[in-house]
Amino acid sequence: MTLPLPTTTVAPPREWSAVLFDLDGTIVDSASEIMDSLAHMFSEMGLPVPDQETLRSYVGPPLLDSLRMTAGFSDVDAWEALNVYRDHYDDHLLHSPVFPGVEGVLQAVHAAGLPIALATSKPESMARAVLAHTGLEQYFTVVAGASDDEERSTKADVVAEALRRLDELGSDTSDAVMVGDRGYDLLGAAAHGVPTIMVEWGYGSPAEATDALAVVHSADQLRGLLIG
């Protein structure tokens, strides 16, 4: 993130019943790998590779939608481009490091007895591979991501699925909170009445955090807001 996010003065409740986490930009620093695969995709599609700032804007939102709306692909070309991207990224997705301190937050929240759900726009199969590779899967009660056919791809849809799976397991989701780094996380969670804590180390801009419950600049700060 190139600019500091303003810290809000709104204090979250002292206790949450469940915590939902975004993946890219929140748990793992995957921008480099994603951007490299995007550059490969544009090149393979016979198009000029966008500048770094434009490539970074693709990190976070559902990619198929971005290819249509931002890149201007037709539906057919967007799917072709998505498959080219996935083939390349599949060989690089395990290279992304976990952000400093985040594993400690997950450990602490898990130890406190709170159910943790992953809610990511990354395909669920890829998200599970990342969690398995990093050793973080042990902390998650459920893992919800985009479906391979993109029928479930928006953050609102993914959050709904994460909440549904938690409910099925008997977890209390009445006071759930989302942790993310982009405005898409905030809007997707808000669609289900879930507030969002934004992390400053991700890929969003200050404008995206305007309606966040709080903004944190460190893992210690995040831990404090989640479990006190």
Q: Is 204 exposed, middle or buried (0-12, 13-18, 19+ CB in 10 A)?
A: buried
Of 146, 90, 94, 92, the residue nearest 120 (C-alpha)? 146
What pLDDT, in 10s, does the model give residues 37-48?
999 999 999 999
pLDDT at 5: 46
CA dihedral 148, 186, 61, 179 (to 10 degrees): -70
Q: State the Cα–Cα distance between residues 117 and 185, nearest whole angstrom.
A: 14
Q: State the Cα–Cα distance between residues 211 and 5, nearest whole angstrom.
A: 12
CATH level 3 topology of 31-94: DNA polymerase; domain 1 (1.10.150)
Q: Where are the domains of the chain?
A: 18-30+98-227, 31-94
What pLDDT, in 10s, does the model give residues 142-177?
999 999 887 888 999 999 999 999 999 999 999 999
pLDDT at 228: 81
Are the beta carbons of 125 and 138 closer than 8 angstroms? no
pLDDT < 50 stretches in the chain: 1-10
Identified catalytic residue from 22, 29, 181, 185: 22
Class of the domain covering 18-30+98-227: alpha beta
pLDDT at 11: 53
Does the annotation count 36 as an active-site position? Answer: no
pLDDT at 149: 83
